[in-house]
Amino acid sequence: MRDIRGFATKFYTDEGIFDLVGNNTPIFFIQDAIKFPDFVHAVKPEPHWAVPQGQSAHDTFWDYVSLQPETLHNVMWAMSDRGLPRSYRTMEGFGIHTFRLINAEGKATFVRFHWKPVAGKASLVWDESQKLTGRDPDFHRRDLWEAIEAGDYPEYELGLQLIPEEDEFAFDFDLLDPTKLIPEALVPVQRVGKMVLNRNPDNFFAENEQAAFHPGHIVPGIDFSNDPLLQGRLFSYTDTQISRLGGPNFHEIPINKPTCPYHNFQRDGMHRMDIDTNPANYEPNSINDNWPRETPPAAKRGGFESYAERVDGEKIRQRSPSFGEYYSQPLLFWRSQTPIEQQHIIDGFSFELSKVVREWIRERVVDQLAHIDLQLAQAGG
């Protein structure tokens, strides 16, 4: 099925858990988290008959896209072969947002994270996808499971795009805009590590369904940027996990639990697993030698310290004007495709829009595509 796939990774480090929570495309549909409820409402099944299930080929989604041009870049990726990965083993992963890496001297460097499959990238074509969806809806999961069972372990290289902070405004787009990628021709991806999937879960529910990923789970040396979508995700994921996993103690489920020693002030609540005998769960306290307490940044092995970012100007509820250009990167993506790949994008748009009932929505989508490329608009609409 044509869709954007999630790609989330949990690192169990000596200093805590780092969650890299992304997708198989390097950008997202919206620039600001405040628009996420609208986006989700638009892509959900139409409310009067709950159709279609798990597809974007319907009026409300394309109505939203046609009125929100910031979505077009990721829509182009979704309509391309990237929306039909042949296997999870040949699918890239991206952290989407710009983060910061902080060195021992406190100097910050902007970073975007990538996962590159060692087996290379490969996609299905639309006809294959339709047949596989009908014959084996679990094709991707089965393919990954069987490869690992056979010892053909999938491998992914971790890559970084590094941008000095002083070059933040050196590009013709905003580094903090999650609907924009950083072209690898401008900033090459540096490979720094490898992940090997060398075993399958012993219990899928315990190790997969209960996994709780959170972009706010970082470790010393990594910090956030002012990407407005990222800033919203830092709040929303905790609410999601509390709802999905039945209470505030989801961090004590074995798959979510740090492997390093840790302390916090959480106490009681539904599904509590740890038995905490400490009489004080607050700081400061005088009845337990002021313990637990927050690890100071100057501790022997270092504690987390937020980056001391200089801020000037007025803070307002408004997007930066530098976020206001929507068509150049969709055009860049279109031009990067081979003629066959471009035809697949056209076919993707043609199929999706054929399911849109309201003519004025189709016309508005075609008008948006014309801002990207006239040939695409004429052929895809």
* In the chain, domain spans: 6-259
Fold for 6-259, please state it.
Answer: Catalase HpII,  Chain A, domain 1 (2.40.180)
Pairing, β 99-102 against β 222-223: antiparallel
Of 335, 370, 333, 323, nearest to 172 by C-alpha is: 323
Position 83, amino acid:
G
Q: Is the dihedral of CA 47, 73, 4, 378 positive or negative?
A: positive
Contacts of 141 by beta carbon, 8 Å cutoff, 6+ apart:
none
pLDDT for residue 190 is more than 60: yes
pLDDT of residue 299: 56
Look up tokens 């009489």; give the residue: 279
Note the pTM of the prediction, 2 decimals. 0.93
> Which has the higher per-residue pLDDT, 244 or 275?
244
pLDDT tens digits for range 303-348: 667 777 777 777 777 888 899 999 999 999 999 999 999 999 999 9
153, 198 Cβ separation under 8 angstroms: yes
Which residues partner with 190 through β-bridges? Answer: 160
33, 229 Cβ separation under 8 angstroms: yes
Give, rounded to a whole angstrom, the gap between the first and last alpha carbons of the chain. 21
Residue 46 CA to residue 259 CA, distance in Å, equals 44
156, 22 Cβ separation under 8 angstroms: no
Residue 11 CA to residue 164 CA, distance in Å, equals 25
pLDDT of residue 170: 95
85, 123 Cβ separation under 8 angstroms: yes
Task: Name the pLDDT band for 188 (thresholds 50, 70, 90).
Answer: very high
Residue 315 CA to residue 337 CA, distance in Å, equals 40
Q: At residue 109, what are phi and psi to the nearest 5 degrees?
A: -130, 130
pLDDT tens digits for range 345-360: 999 999 999 999 999 9
Q: What is the 3-state secondary structure of the chain? A: CCCCCEEEEEEEECCEEEEEEEECCCCCCCCCHHHHHHHHHHHCCECCCCECCCCCCCHHHHHHHHHCHHHHHHHHHHHCHHHCECCHHHCCEECCCCEEEECCCCCEEEEEEEEEECCCCCECCHHHHHHHHHHCCCHHHHHHHHHHHCCCCCEEEEEEEEEEHHHCCCCCCCCCCCCCCCCCCCCCCEEEEEEECCCCCCCHHHHHHCCCCCCCCCCCCEECCCCHHHHHHHHHHHHHHHHHCCCCCHHHCHHHCCCCCCCCCCCCCCCCCCCCCCCCCCCCCCCCCCCCCCCCCCCCCCCCCCCCCCCCCCCCCCCCHHHCCCCHHHHHHHHHCCHHHHHHHHHHHHHHHHCCCCHHHHHHHHHHHHHHCHHHHHHHC
Position 375, amino acid:
Q
72, 372 Cβ separation under 8 angstroms: yes
pLDDT of residue 308: 79
Task: Name the pLDDT band for 22 (thresholds 50, 70, 90).
Answer: very high
The mean of the pLDDT values for the chain is 93
pLDDT tens digits for range 6-17: 999 999 999 899
Burial of 14 (0-12, 13-18, 19+ CB in 10 A): exposed
pLDDT of residue 167: 96
364, 334 Cβ separation under 8 angstroms: no
pLDDT for residue 273 is more than 90: no
pLDDT of residue 219: 92
